[in-house]
Structure 1
């Protein structure tokens, strides 16, 4: 029995890791928080993983009920997530870096929380694909499977948090020019993933409508 749980946990981790890909999210985090101080970056990194974790916990436990309550379909969720990813990728490719005067002043609140929620927490870390995967893995009648899904995703959030914090070291190691190229490439990939997610949602919606 223990072996089956270990195997399930391994499968869940690999599934989550392939979808979330926290390593690939580091350039996105660095680009979105470029104008912030190190302390503010830590706050955004922590808030983003906490929000993402809460989202996955909620959908793992009561995902189907939430979707039925608000009459939301998975295709609609995919389409919305695809649009958000495309917008983020578009900005990373074409827009200039934020200016220094945009630096957050803690005395004036924390406008950076919007970055932590969207796009870092959702849809990058807890997007439609991750939510669907969590709901599928947690759908078993064995409640321990739901617990394993939540714990495994918590571990992944911690890994993502550590990677976000090490972003500065990665920049110093690779150099600003290399990171700029990587950021532009990640922006293109995110834009393409957004379009792909949107098309998948449209196709699923058409298929459901024809049934």
Structure 2
């Protein structure tokens, strides 16, 4: 049952963190605005491609990002501390000024809307899965357990979370007009702030795990038990 518990915990942790930083509902607002001159069929196709590309970006960041950083000699505790701080700062910024973050995304997305291939850039990067999402995914991947059974549960749970968030992006962007009419911008802002608070808590937890790992590596593990 150990790997099953780890799978559930990893899925809940990764999905809450990724949902908070990706913010599909807020992204749907921007998607509806920057693709307003396209037909409904074109927007459905773009939404499907953005969902697929978003899944790839998150999965690659989850499982390759930590190894790339390790190639440069960055230890796992240092990566967890730095990644957790990045996640916490991202959550704090989203919590205190989500409107500003959405304005930045919209400005970045608007510059290239006349390009032939807009599904990956700018609709996936940086509109949906920008540097903040990549940082969060790398930090989550660096938080993987070392025990074989728990590791399997972590891999499956985190991967399913990334795919689930990408599916939510696909649905939200495909239904962007309906969602914006149903919820309205004020309610979407409230959802974004609640998600940002969860992201802040996740960042603090990842940082705490990194600090504890560093203390154990320094020979203080017995005192922490």
Normalised by the shorter chain, which TM-score bucket?
Answer: 0.5 to 0.7
| Correspondence for 2:190 among 182, 185, 189 | 185
> Which moves more between the two structures, 63-72 or 159-168?
63-72
Q: Please list every run of 5 or more consecutive structure 1 residues that lacks an aligned counterpart in the other structure.
A: none
Partner residue of 2:222?
none
| Alignment-derived partner of residue 38 in structure 1 | 44
Work out the CA distance in 1 between the residues paired with 2:21 and 2:168: 7
Say whether 1:113 aligns with 2:121: yes
Deviations 1:136-187 (A, max 9, x none): 33333x2x54343233222222222222222244752x55273312333345
TM-score by length of 1: 0.63
Task: State the partner residue of 1:14.
Answer: 12
Give the corresponding residue for 2:27.
29
User: Corresponding residue for 2:143?
Assistant: 136
- For residues 112 and 82 of structure 1, do their structure 2 counterparts lie closer, same or farther at Cα, with a shift above 3 Å needed? farther
CA gap 1:111/1:164 in 2 versus in 1, 3 angstroms: closer
The answer as to whether partners of 1:25 and 1:124 remain within 8 angstroms in 2 is no
C-alpha separation in 2, matches of 1:77 and 1:124: 10
Measure, in 2, the Cα distance between the counterparts of 1:112 and 1:104. Answer: 11
Distance 1:175 1:51, change over 3 A: closer
Q: Partners in 1 of 2:6 and 2:79 — Cα distance?
A: 27
TM-score (norm 2): 0.60
Which range moves more in the overlay, 12-21 or 174-183?
174-183
1:149 counterpart (127, 148, 154): 154
Q: Which residue of 1 aligns with 2:56?
A: 50
The structure-2 alpha-carbon separation of the partners of 1:5 and 1:131, relative to structure 1 and needing over 3 Å to count, comes to: same
Q: Describe the shift of the 1:165–1:75 C-alpha distance in structure 2 as closer, same or farther (beyond 3 A).
A: same
Distance (Å, rounded) in 1 between the aligned partners of 2:208 and 2:13: 23
Q: CA-atom RMSD, angstroms? A: 4.6
In the alignment, structure 2 segments of 5+ residues that lack a partner are 36-42, 219-225
Moved more, 63-72 or 115-124: 63-72
Q: Does the CA-based 8 Å contact 2:25-2:188 persist in structure 1?
A: yes
Query: Does the Cα contact within 8 Å between 1:139 and 1:146 map onto a contact in 2?
Result: yes
Which deviates more from structure 2 when the two are superposed, residues 163-172 or residues 186-195?
A: 186-195
State the shift of 1:57 in Å.
1.0
The structural deviation recorded for 1:68 is 2.9
